[in-house]
Structure 1
Amino acid sequence: MSLSLTRRAFCGQVGAALTCAVLPPGKLLAGPERPQGLTLGIGNYGMPGLTVEEAIRLIAASGFDSLELSLMPDWDSAPTRLNQERRKSIRQMLSDKGLTLTSLMEDIPPSAVATEHQATLERLKRAADLAHDLAPERPPLIQTVLGGGTWNERKALLVDRVGDWLRTAESSQTVIAVKPHRSGAMSQPRDAAWLYEQLGKSRWLGMVYDYSHYAMRDLSIAETVATALPLTVQIAVKDVKAVGDRTEFALPGEVGTVDYSEILTRFHDGGYRGDVCCEVSSQVFRRPGYDPVAATQSCAKHLQQAFAAAHIPRRKRVS
């Protein structure tokens, strides 16, 4: 979630009133220094069969401003699959295509097992190294869900483990964003806000807001945005629908269950200036006949309509 000011320009304009430090992506700016607009992106999570280079070409051709790369082992963008030569080439390709790398998607639920926790810390370090290799001027955030279970049973462990993560985040100057998931222990913004408070409102910790995880749960857009706004560093978008006694995710705009223009308006009016990232759920890309090109183009069309309806400008790549 990049801002329209470079770190150097921001520090020069704000001057001695603020400490010149890395500004976590998406965090709120005040006053005349605050840019207008948001970036619109999509992740390659819904493109598991494409190489990183193929995904970049598709995303750029579809009219997006930004992208998220998935780091799970089966994706071509996993850190272990990208040697230094390829990282350098991808960085140049992003520049040539005018795309901002805003986020990296991981899936690292905290574990009570010490050896598993250490493996997670090492995985976070690899993600942070990749973030700086691909976008050293403004490293993308690293986002993850926090696993299943119940909130009351898991919240103490989450404070402990995510607290350890933040030491890695600070040492690498990389933001970690946690994502409430409707089937997870941390399932709504108030849970993430509690965790944020417990960890001292660290500037290296943020939240991913995704209303598909709060819909159909008596949680309104107005309520969840108000809670999430101070700590949101990324907005993810996808539809959700009821299928019998369960819910199922869909492409953003596919079933029309989420008012994206309201979400964009409330966040933008509240000062959010980060990225809006379309997510293609595994429930979608595992369907027979799934076409990543058609899905990407559908996401672009529906979110472009939402931006227009909300009268919110799009920001392009930062230098």
Structure 2
Amino acid sequence: MPQFTRREWLSAALAATLPAPGAAAVPGRLPLGFSLYGMRALPLADALDVCKRCGYDGVELALMPGYHADPAKLTPADVKALAKRLADANLSVLGLMENLPALGDAAAHRANLDRLGAAADLANALGPDRPPPIETVLGGKPAEWDKVKDRLAERLADWAAVGRDRKTVVAVKPHVANALHTVADAVWLVKQVGSEWLRLAFDFSHFELRGVRIEHAVTELAPHSVFAHVKDAKGTPEKFEFLLPGDGATDYPKLAKLLSGAKYTGPVVVEVSAQVSNKPGYDPAAAAKSSFRAVSAAFGRPPRD
């Protein structure tokens, strides 16, 4: 696969005009999207059509190997075609999902920086005026936090430099089973890095499993967050199961009200966990539709049949 310059990537997509990434369909209303992480089995055109018909404002593109938007597999012509498909469907690019475990060796760190650079180039190609954020979990285990937190901060400072150079925000997501897993540690990490290009991706399901009150999680984390996932969860930090929105006990009207009160302005994107999508009989179109029904009213969308 030939390597393309950033200029070639940007030029490829400028011919197609996209809705502004992260822009709400109605002023003052948070953009509502669906992550194509949960639609790996569908062709891209079908996945976008499903999201459009459901009523979503946009999508999160998954960039990992084997997914629709892996930058290593995209030519400039592919980027241009992707931009046109999104524009034709009137869907914004609300975010780009990566999976970059941050605690590997030096070679793994360099590889992560390369992938972040490619992701940021794609973000700029699809949203040259306002590149969508790149979000990722960080890996590691909860018990390791005190041992690895300083190394994480150092490495994320390098990530932030990539974001700064390409004017693209990198958003890291606390995860119930990762080293970064508490509200206080997430705030500490962002402040320790101290860059506007390194922010948080908020997903209450991971804190709900730890018994964190939704008010506390939103109040502390929303000011540092540029992206939000929504899904339900049940169980304990040691034995948990992620669910589709509406299949658990998450109070979405309350979450929406709290995010608004905290002046959060980023997108809200349904994420279907691999625990759900890997089950036999999983139907991505049905999951997108039922998830929209579960969250749409809370975020100011009209009901759909």
TM-score by length of 1: 0.83
Q: How does 1:149-164 map to 2 (within 5 A)?
A: 149=141, 150-164=144-158
1:166 alignment partner in structure 2: 160
Task: Describe the SS at the equivalent of 1:305.
Answer: coil
The residue type equivalent to 1:143 in the other structure is E
- In 2 relative to 1, CA 279–83 (structure 1 residues): closer, same or farther, beyond 3 Å? same
| 1:295 aligned to which of 282, 287, 293 | 287
1:195 aligns with 2:194: no
- Percent identity of equivalent pairs: 39
Name which of structure 1's ranges 241-250 and 212-221 shifts more when overlaid on structure 2.
Answer: 241-250
Amino acid at match of 2:192: Q
Q: How many residues align?
A: 277
Equivalence for 2:297:
305
Matched, 1:121 2:113: yes
For 2:209 and 2:175, the matched residues in 1 are separated by 13
The match for 2:94 is 102
Hey, what's the Cα distance between the residues in 2 that align with 1:159 and 1:188? 15
How far off its partner does 1:243 sit? Answer: 7.9
Between stretches 65-74 and 132-141, larger displacement belongs to: 132-141
Q: 1:218 aligns to what? A: 211
2:31 touches 2:58 (CA, 8 Å); kept in 1?
yes
1:302 and 1:185 mapped to 2: Cα distance?
A: 30
Tell me, in whole angstroms, the C-alpha distance in 2 between the residues paired with 1:180 and 1:228.
10
Conserved? CA contact 1:52–1:77, under 8 Å? no
Instruction: For residues 279-305 of structure 1, give each alpha carbon's deviation from its aligned partner in whole angstroms, at most 9, with x where no partner exists.
Output: 000000001100111011111111113
CA distance in 1, matches of 2:130, 2:207: 30
CA distance in 2, matches of 1:172, 1:221: 34
Q: CA deviation at 1:99?
A: 1.0
Residues 111-149 of structure 1 show CA distances to partners (whole Å, capped at 9, x for unaligned) of: 351111111110111111111112212111000001022
In the alignment, does 2:39 pair up with 1:39? no
Equivalent residue number for residue 256 of structure 2 = 264
Contact 1:206 1:231 in 2 (8 A): yes
TM-score with structure 2 setting the length: 0.86
Distance of 2:298 and 2:233 partners within structure 1: 17
Post-superposition offset of 1:313: 6.5
1:134 equivalent in structure 2: 126
**Aligned residue number for residue 93 of structure 1:** 85
Inter-partner Cα distance in structure 2 for 1:244 and 1:204:
30
- Give CA-to-partner distance per residue, 1:177-196, whole Å, 9 cap, x none: 00000000001232121011
Q: 1:247 aligns with which of 240, 248, 265?
A: 240
Unpaired runs of at least 5, structure 2 = 1-20
Q: Which amino acid is the alignment partner of residue 68 of structure 1? A: E
Match of 1:182 among 170, 176, 181: 176
| Alignment partner, residue 32 of structure 1 | none
Alpha-carbon distance, 1:86 to partner: 1.5
